[in-house]
Amino acid sequence: MKRRTALKSLALVMGGTIALPAWAKAWNADILSSNSNWLVSPDQQALLAEIVETIIPATNTPGAKDLGVHRFILTMLTDCYEKSAQNRFVEGLKELDETVRASYGKSFVTCTPAQRLEILKAREEVAKILPPEKEPFFPFLKNITIQGYLNSEYVMREVYKYELVPGRYNGCFPVTASAKK
Amino acid sequence: MANLNTDSIKNRTYDAIVIGSGISGGWAAKELTGKGLKTLVLERGRDVKHVTDYPTTFKNPWEFEHRGQVPLEITKANPIISRCYAFREDAMHFFVKDQEHPYVQEKPFDWIRGYQVGGKSLLWARHTQRWSDFDFEGPARDGFAVDWPIRYKDIAPWYSYVEKFAGISGNKDGLPELPDGEFLPPLELNCVEKYFKDQVKSKYQDRHVIISRCAHLTEPQAIHHQQGRGKCQNRVLCQRGCPYGGYFSSNASTLPWAAKTGNLTMRPQAVVQSIIYDDRKGKATGVRIIDAITKEAIEFYAPIIFVNAAAINTNLILLNSTSSRFPNGLGNDSGVLGKYVAFHNYRARVSGSYEGFLDTTTDGRRPTSGYIPRFRNVFKQETDFLRGYAAGFSANRGQYQSRNGLGAELKENLLTPKLGNWSVGSHMMGETIPKETSTLSLDPALKDEWGIPQLRFNIGYDDNDEKMVKDYLEQISDMFTKAGFKNITTSDSKQAPGLDIHEMGGARMGKDPKTSILNSWNQMHACKNVFVTDGACMTSTATQNPSLTYMALTARAAYYAVKELKKRNL
């Protein structure tokens, strides 16, 4: 849908209407059809939203949940990853959920923010000592959450000041004091 | 009925036909229409109009559903095209789908294609270095292929001619091995690249680091404004199509210019099956196409035919154009058609880092890189391999974020990017030697969806290429070491030929009709009204990105063709 919206706004910029050409539909149909088929249940989506929010929480700036990072993860998993990676991820979510219920007597979603952070920190400590094949879930989850966050409009535009049209190149630009290492 | 037929033939008759609308086809169209010839351009793909058919050009990175990554289903269905660096979510609609255009790989060859009006001129890397006589004299001096029938002086004015129109930025470096041209202001080397340039200059006699000459309008002139093109805005999103016409493409430049003359007819969705040869007239009379959609066969006629289908498809068309006079392909008396195909060797890379210049970084973006002209075996043979390589060189200073922690701590880390050291990198552009055994041929049985024989590729690396890769890695590593770069790593991707997208030869130019297909004007020795001015004409490959040379050869050949037509010699 985003692509259609973008095409529409492009049409406004160009001062005319643009019909979606046949080839674009051809590339698009695959994307749309696969996207309508989420890998996880609504409950698991809500769980994932709280997990990414715990990894990168709202502070005085938006957190990962507000930026839709959980939806980004599901889109990427669905469209860009092998079945095996998808299964590992869904299994990992399930397993995390069950572990939390067993130790806390409630779901991750109903835990306090402090408990959630504690759970994920413990998980990361375990991931650090286990070989990757024993713990494929957490490192992937953290990395793709960071990827989704850094590539979000908010972070690219507001923090990293992405410019679509820089109109310049300066090959010897002084580093401002604040950006120095 | 007779009248109807006559009318129908008349409606399908032009003064010239150009096969292909990419970089060289666009130039043929511009030159021929400009000289008053009613010109038909046949393009096998769909129409792509400048700006209006660049659907992703104004998108921000976050507006791409997969942030630029191509969905797995598409990469799995298109393994060949997926290996091309520019096949990303923002530009994948400008590439063909593998399964729709099959071919046979006797040896691995990644054939990268863009079937649309403008062809790969939308996607090219836009580097535009001139050849010198060190390149044109290569085969004769080193004893391979055949002697080029032209020298630098023959093409120099045509380089100037196309550079002025296309708009080439560059610095006048005064190097005999890389002649200066008609340049718009150069793009800038950054401080680490300048530092490397100075280091190389002080430590080597004949090695140079320059800013690459490239087809970007750094300061548009009247001729560019007349084309409706404006200044390059440093977006470096070129492969999406440029809404400003900031870089040269057929779509932004030559094709609309040709259309303005009123002499241009564009025919997209026209898959050329063959060139029609008339035994009685002793020349080519037209082109037979298959409509890509309806599959209908249609013939078009003209007294001049320019073949600009891109090197490999030009070979296919010529091989498939058989007649009683030319049973082995059009103009193929010599038997060399489809042979001596070569490419550029892009396998090797060297990278490293530099710990200096920590008070500086770069700002904005730059659509090109540094360039190291060939320094091996230029003035004399000095290694155990023939010819040499040019190299790309660039430095940049990336940002990184610590990924430590979770929660607010991680977030703080991600929002506080730091500057790393400068990183430096180089890639190889090696000349390969055209060999009789490097061939394109027609499969006797397999056909594509349009009933056209599939091509068989038998093109590979040889011992000379292996030695050259080794030398490149050693020499560039040495240069990096002498410049004080650290963490130097070398790599050889072993990638198949083709990913360089610089395929050349198969219908080479030469002095002798017994050993070549085309004469010094890109005119077929044996079929005087057919001209081949794309990569297929190349006798050898040199190390320069070839498109500028195709443009110059095309303009030159069109000038000659029209002159000959007026003298009634065609």
Domains and CATH numbers, chain B: 1-169+248-343+436-459+498-569 (3.50.50.60), 174-212+344-431+461-495 (no CATH)
Residue B285: Cβ within 10 Å count: 18
Q: Is B410's Cβ below 8 Å from some Cβ in A?
A: yes
Q: Decide which of B267 and B1 is more confident.
A: B267
Write down the pLDDT at residue B568. Answer: 93
Strands (E), B23-142: 39-42, 104-105
Per CB-CB distance under 8 Å, the chain A contacts of B360 are: 172-175
Q: Model confidence over B206-242: pLDDT tens digits?
A: 999 999 999 999 999 999 999 999 999 999 999 999 9
Pairing status of strand B418-431 against strand B344-345: antiparallel
**% chain A with pLDDT above 90:** 70
DSSP B86-105: T-STTTGGGS--GGGS--EE
Domain enclosing residue A81, as ranges:
37-154
| Residues on chain B touching A169 (C-beta within 8 angstroms) | 187-188, 234, 362-366
| B 283-302 → A contacts, CB under 8 A | none
Residue A181 within any structural domain of the chain: no
ipTM of the complex: 0.91
Domain for residue A14, yes or no? no
pLDDT at A179: 53
Q: What angle do CA B502, B533, B541 make, to 5 degrees?
A: 35
A15 has pLDDT over 50: no
* Cβ count near B181 (within 10 Å): 20
Q: Is the pLDDT of residue A125 over 60?
A: yes
Distance CA B412, CA B384 (A): 56
pLDDT over threshold 80, residue B297: yes
Asked if A119 and A108 touch (Cβ cutoff 8 Å), the reply is yes
Whether A96 maps to a domain, the answer reads yes
> Are the CB atoms for B550 and B522 separated by under 8 Å?
no
Q: Is the pLDDT at B425 greater than 50, yes or no?
A: yes
Provide the percentage of residues in chain B whose pLDDT is more than 70: 99
CB-nearest to B360 from A146, A165, A173 is: A173
The answer to whether B345 and B429 have CB atoms below 8 angstroms apart is yes
Confidence tier at A14 by pLDDT (50, 70, 90)? very low
Does A8 fall in a domain?
A: no
Quote the mean pLDDT of chain A: 82
The verdict on a CB contact (< 8 Å) between A2 and B51 is no
Sign of the four-CA dihedral A13, A19, A22, A28: positive
A35-58 mean pLDDT: 88
Cβ neighbours of A142 in B, within 8 Å: 403, 406
Encoded amino acid at A153, one letter: E
Contact assessment for residue B438 and residue B312, using Cβ atoms and an 8 Å cutoff: no
How much is the pTM? 0.93
The half-sphere exposure of B2 on its side-chain side, counting CA atoms within 13 A, is 0
| Window from A129-138, B105-114, B425-434 with minimum mean pLDDT | A129-138
CA nearest to A61 within chain B: B411
Q: Which helix (H) or strand (E) holds B184?
A: strand B183-184
Closest of B40, B34, B2 to residue B21, by C-alpha: B40
> Residue A33 burial by CB count (10 A; 0-12/13-18/19+): exposed, middle or buried?
exposed
A99 falls within a domain: yes
Contact B406, B417 (CB under 8 A): no
Q: What SS3 class is residue B467?
A: helix
Q: Which among A172, A175, A178 is the top mutation candidate for probing chain B, defined by the most B β-carbons within 10 Å of its own β-carbon? A: A172
Describe the strand order of the beta sheet including B264-267 as a list of residue ranges.
B264-267, B39-42, B16-19, B304-307, B530-532
Whether A71 maps to a domain, the answer reads: yes
Q: A-B interface: how many C-beta pairs under 8 angstroms?
A: 171
Tokens representing residue B54 in the block: 């660049």
- Would an 8 Å CB–CB cutoff place B494 in contact with chain A? no
- Predicted local confidence at residue A180, as pLDDT: 45
**A4 falls within a domain:** no
At A132, the pLDDT band (50, 70, 90 cuts) reads confident
DSSP code of B381?
-
Contact assessment for residue B502 and residue B112, using Cβ atoms and an 8 Å cutoff:
no
Q: Strands of B346-432 (E only): list them.
A: 348-354, 360-364, 370-372, 389-400, 418-431
Instruction: Confirm whether A174 is domain-assigned.
Output: no
Distance of CA A109 to the CA centre of its chain: 18
B360: β partners: A174
Average pLDDT of chain B to the nearest whole number:
97
Number of domains in chain A: 1
Residues B537-569: tens digit of each pLDDT = 999 999 999 999 999 999 999 999 999 999 999
